[in-house]
Structure 1
Amino acid sequence: MTPAPAPSLLAFDGSGIDGGLYTDVTDAAHRTPHWLDHAVLLWSDYGLAVFAVLMLAGWWAARRRGAADTARALAVPVATVLAYGVNSVVKALVAEDRPCISLPHTPTLEACPGAGDWSFPSNHTVVAFAAAAALLVVDRRIGAVAVLAAVAMGASRVWIGVHYPHDVLAGALVGVAVGLPLTLAARRAAPLVERARGTALAPLLGTP
């Protein structure tokens, strides 16, 4: 584990909210088998790629249904990117130090991000839950898989030591709050999709 950077004097210290729970989780991580920690690290670092695959699956399934369903499927990545953008603004406004900075003597599986790489809310969790909420609108079975993957992603961020539990909870709320309504509203673009199905875009948009 690399030494934690010095905390910023202007940053918010979130350890008073659930720092105890955070240290309980990171302590547990150091008592589990190495293979499990390695698997969690891999999932935490690369698991977002799974959501891209699920988005493709949602789009492929929606191509065989109505234009409104296709419009919603096409909106999933857009809603996810917008959720990430909203979260970036919240991060900058709150400016919460990472727990590995505020609690420097707590052992973590992941190297501590540098000062200025804010903690609240968790970007990974926002992206995962925005995608999951949006995919639930598109296809319940695919969405259910995405929800389980999103929960695993959020938990992994605390497990490896880069986020407090409240960072993950807030990230889930932001992701759902942005991803769900935007995807529901995308059905209004159904007439555009219907017209586009008569153009060269038909192979991408499919037919009912």
Structure 2
Amino acid sequence: MHLMSLISGRSALLDHAVFGLTKDMFSSVILLSLVVYAWFGTNRSDRRAGILVGTVMSFFAGVVSRILQLSLPTHLRPLYDADLHFKSPSGLDSGALNHWSSFPSDHAAVVFGLACTIYYADIRIGRLAFALVTLLSASRIYLGVHFPSDVIAGASLGIAVVMATQQFRTSSVMRQLMAKEETNSALFYSLAFYFCFGVATLFNDYRSALSELAKQLHAHIAS
């Protein structure tokens, strides 16, 4: 992180370029597009079932990671660790994520889980996906949002969860779901699109709405 601090904040152009990589359209949306590509790149029901399981479990890994963030002792982000003297990059909100612990990275858990899912379905596209998520995670380290250890822990969690649950692609539940893809494809793909969009944005709208509702309820109870 000291090495990153020597680079970060020195060039506004570089800072804005790296910051742009964290936007959904340049990160999660591209990754979910690769998931769709892998899905339609095969007609094998077992591989498609593996993609479905992996996508759902990648999101689950992100939820587990967030629970760990809330449960474990607070781990300050590099931006707010006074001992690091980390220089804030241009364009980054100085108050960004300052109320959330950084370990492990829920973003890394989700995107590395998705990359692993794609790899199981198509090794060639999977390698591209892993290269993409590595670049995205490096950008978050550059910006001081995460320590390398946060990313490694989150990535390990996401990959482990996906690998451990791929066996369920041949379960009776998955066979029934895959049958729905054939008998009611309109409903299946509508729900799949909605869920993929939510994963791509990490359900930010829902999280913001629930957070605001919790604040209002707390204020109402306090009054």
In which range does the TM-score fall when normalised by the shorter chain?
0.7 to 0.9
- What is the rounded CA distance, in whole Å, between the counterparts of 2:167 and 2:117 in structure 1? 8
Which residue is equivalent to 1:146? 129
Q: Note the alpha carbon deviations across 1:111-142, whole angstroms, 9 max, x for none.
A: 34254311111122111111111111111122
Which residue is equivalent to 2:77? 98
Determine if the alignment matches structure 1 residue 54 to structure 2 residue 34: yes
Determine if the alignment matches structure 1 residue 155 to structure 2 residue 145: no
For residues 179 and 197 of structure 1, do their structure 2 counterparts lie closer, same or farther at Cα, with a shift above 3 Å needed?
Answer: closer
Q: Note the alpha carbon deviations across 1:183-207, whole angstroms, 9 max, x for none.
A: 34323355325643652339969xx
- Aligned partner of 1:48: which letter? S
- Aligned partner of 1:82: which letter? F
User: Does the residue aligned with 1:26 lie in a helix, a strand or coil?
Assistant: helix
Which residue is equivalent to 1:36? 14
User: Does the residue aligned with 1:132 lie in a helix, a strand or coil?
Assistant: helix
Which residue is equivalent to 2:93? 111
Q: Percent identity?
A: 25
Q: Which moved more, 1:168-177 or 1:193-202?
A: 193-202
- Considering fraction of residues, name the structure with more helix: 2
Q: Runs (4+) of structure 1 moved beyond 4 Å?
A: 202-205
- What is the rounded CA distance, in whole Å, between the counterparts of 1:187 and 1:136 in structure 2? 18
User: Does the residue aligned with 2:70 lie in a helix, a strand or coil?
Assistant: helix
Which residue is equivalent to 1:133? 116
Q: Note the alpha carbon deviations across 1:1-48, whole angstroms, 9 max, x for none.
A: xxxxxxxxxxxxxxxxxxxxx1211222234x5433322111123312
Consecutive unaligned residues of structure 1, counting only runs of 5 or more, are 1-21
Which residue is equivalent to 1:191? 175
For residues 114 and 160 of structure 1, do their structure 2 counterparts lie closer, same or farther at Cα, with a shift above 3 Å needed?
Answer: closer
Q: Which moved more, 1:99-108 or 1:72-81?
A: 99-108
Q: Note the alpha carbon deviations across 1:38-93, whole angstroms, 9 max, x for none.
A: 2211112331221111111122113x2x2211111222320121011110111112
- Aligned partner of 2:28: which letter? L
- Aligned partner of 1:201: which letter? S
- What is the rounded CA distance, in whole Å, between the counterparts of 1:114 and 1:149 in structure 2? 23
- What is the rounded CA distance, in whole Å, between the counterparts of 2:49 and 2:171 in structure 1? 8
Consecutive unaligned residues of structure 2, counting only runs of 5 or more, are 190-223
TM-score (norm 1): 0.76
Determine if the alignment matches structure 1 residue 67 to structure 2 residue 45: yes
TM-score (norm 2): 0.72
Determine if the alignment matches structure 1 residue 26 to structure 2 residue 5: yes
Alpha carbons 1:76, 1:131 under 8 Å: kept: yes
Alpha carbons 2:49, 2:169 under 8 Å: kept: yes
- What is the rounded CA distance, in whole Å, between the counterparts of 1:154 and 1:96 in structure 2? 18
Higher RCO (CA < 8 A, seq sep 6+) = 1
Q: Note the alpha carbon deviations across 1:153-173, whole angstroms, 9 max, x for none.
A: 111111011111111111111
- What is the rounded CA distance, in whole Å, between the counterparts of 1:162 and 1:196 in structure 2? 41
Determine if the alignment matches structure 1 residue 82 to structure 2 residue 60: yes
- What is the rounded CA distance, in whole Å, between the counterparts of 2:28 and 2:59 in structure 1? 13
Aligned-residue Cα RMSD (Å) equals: 2.4
Aligned length: 181
For residues 197 and 87 of structure 1, do their structure 2 counterparts lie closer, same or farther at Cα, with a shift above 3 Å needed?
Answer: closer
Alpha carbons 1:126, 1:171 under 8 Å: kept: yes
